[in-house]
Amino acid sequence: MKHIEAKIKHALENKGIKCQSIFAMPDPDDTRILLAFNSKDNRKLSTKKIEIALESLNV
């Protein structure tokens, strides 16, 4: 797993969000990351909660 994917996965886990998979999408102009979550592990997960966790990373 690359540095950015590992950083995101560990940061989400520290915030209590279990991330099943993280994929870096090949794009020459912009870095894009695809996140996959398991709904059984994250029953109260919302896009806002993910957004706040990712914004705290300063990535």
Residue pLDDT, tens place only, 29-44: 887 889 999 888 788 8
pLDDT averaged over every residue in the chain: 86
How many domains does one find in the chain? Answer: 1
pLDDT of res. 35? 92
User: Residue 24: which domain range?
Assistant: 3-55
CB 5 within 8 A of CB 55: no
pLDDT of res. 15? 87
Cα–Cα distances (Å) from 16 to 30, 35, 44, in that order, read 28, 15, 11
**7 vs 27, residue with greater confidence:** 7
Is 51 a residue whose pLDDT tops 80?
A: yes
Give pTM, 2 decimals. 0.72
pLDDT of res. 36? 92
